[in-house]
A = this chain, B = another copy of it.
């Protein structure tokens, strides 16, 4: 392997200059810095991360495993979450290592990352009930933060939003406006967020019969939003709450298809992650929303991972962030015939 000395000799520079260039000192001009970097690569000089990792046992990175079958990680939320996470880590020169895994139940990629000491900890997004990934990391003593929860009060570090409170308040708003037939278009209840939202909804409609409160639990796509809203309209609902903006897009299409006007004939509330590309304001009536920016989750989890890996107690790293309820034109009292 090339030594610093032979690298410096090859370049005709002092070892001090080469070292400063490799450590990104501002006293070295850009041209010299690039020349040193290029020669270091060509001569396979490996001064930094690998040696430091052997010495410190720290990878300086966190792992996140994407599922590649089906669509669970392929949400519009994903890119905003990653932007928050990488932005918060970039300032600390920490990175995210992304791996692929067929589904949420497979833990092989987690094991591979641990074997290879690729990361110091993990983010688990969209945890399932009794999540096998969390259980594995727990057994192995590897730090991790859940984005969401595996149980109402898990003994893990987690960042979640107040899904129960948000959907209870949204439902109560519709009740206060006079709605008595209200649909919930929810995600699949293999994840806590969907269970909490359903429970918040049921607390909000307390006293109404099940026939007056149809609930669908599906992948959160536009197509499912359309299908479930059309079915709900046939039962005579006058209002609906959607768990995602894609579901709401489909719901709006079903409402228009039925010849109804959003915000006049039908009230609609949507949960909004405050995404970059899709806005809940630009529906045919601006949507009343429960809002919690998902970019905040990415930023917060970056800090929590740092704390955990520095030895913080997991009980100190359990956050349930509040959710705003923002009133707009899509909610009003039902039209009485």
Give CA–CA (A61, B93) in the complex, Å. Answer: 17
The answer on a CB contact under 8 Å between A109 and B97 is no
A188 touches B (CB below 8 Å): no
The answer on a CB contact under 8 Å between A277 and B221 is yes
Q: A53-B46, A54-B51, A98-B86 are in contact. Are A139 and B34 (CB under 8 A)?
A: yes
CB distance from A36 to the nearest CB of B (A): 9
Give CA–CA (A277, B112) in the complex, Å. Answer: 30
Give CA–CA (A115, B140) in the complex, Å. Answer: 31
The answer on a CB contact under 8 Å between B87 and A83 is no
Which of A33, A141, A277 has the most chain B CB atoms closer than 10 A to its own CB?
A277
A211 touches B (CB below 8 Å): no
The answer on a CB contact under 8 Å between B83 and A68 is yes
Which residues does chain B contribute within 8 Å of A49, judged by CB atoms?
53, 116-118
A258 touches B (CB below 8 Å): no
The answer on a CB contact under 8 Å between A117 and B46 is yes
Of A72-80, A165-173, A192-200, A303-311, the one with at least 4 CB within 8 A of chain B: A72-80
Give CA–CA (A195, B98) in the complex, Å. Answer: 32
The answer on a CB contact under 8 Å between A99 and B78 is no
The answer on a CB contact under 8 Å between B57 and A24 is no
Give CA–CA (A25, B128) in the complex, Å. Answer: 28
The answer on a CB contact under 8 Å between A222 and B22 is no
A90 touches B (CB below 8 Å): yes
The answer on a CB contact under 8 Å between B68 and A87 is yes
Which of A22, A82, A89, A111 has the most chain B CB atoms closer than 10 A to its own CB?
A82
Give CA–CA (A222, B101) in the complex, Å. Answer: 32
A95 touches B (CB below 8 Å): yes
* Assembly stoichiometry (copies): 2
A136 touches B (CB below 8 Å): yes
Interface membership of chain A positions 247-284, coded 1 if the CB is closer than 8 angstroms to chain B and 0 otherwise: 00110010010000000000000000001111100101
From B78, B109, B140, A41 is in contact (CB under 8 Å) with: B140
Interface membership of chain A positions 141-175, coded 1 if the CB is closer than 8 angstroms to chain B and 0 otherwise: 11000000000000000000000000000000000
Which residues does chain B contribute within 8 Å of A4, judged by CB atoms?
none
Give CA–CA (A66, B80) in the complex, Å. Answer: 11
A8 touches B (CB below 8 Å): no
Can you name the residue of chain B whose Cβ is closest to the Cβ of A114?
B37
The answer on a CB contact under 8 Å between B114 and A41 is yes
From B42, B96, B250, A98 is in contact (CB under 8 Å) with: B96
Which residues does chain B contribute within 8 Å of A223, judged by CB atoms?
279, 282
A38 touches B (CB below 8 Å): yes
Minimum-distance CB pairs A-B, first 10: A90-B100, A86-B100, A68-B87, A49-B116, A74-B276, A78-B79, A96-B98, A50-B53, A71-B276, A44-B57
Given A38-B140, A73-B83, 11 extra CB contacts under 8 A: A22-B115, A24-B111, A46-B117, A68-B83, A71-B276, A74-B79, A76-B277, A95-B99, A221-B277, A221-B279, A253-B284
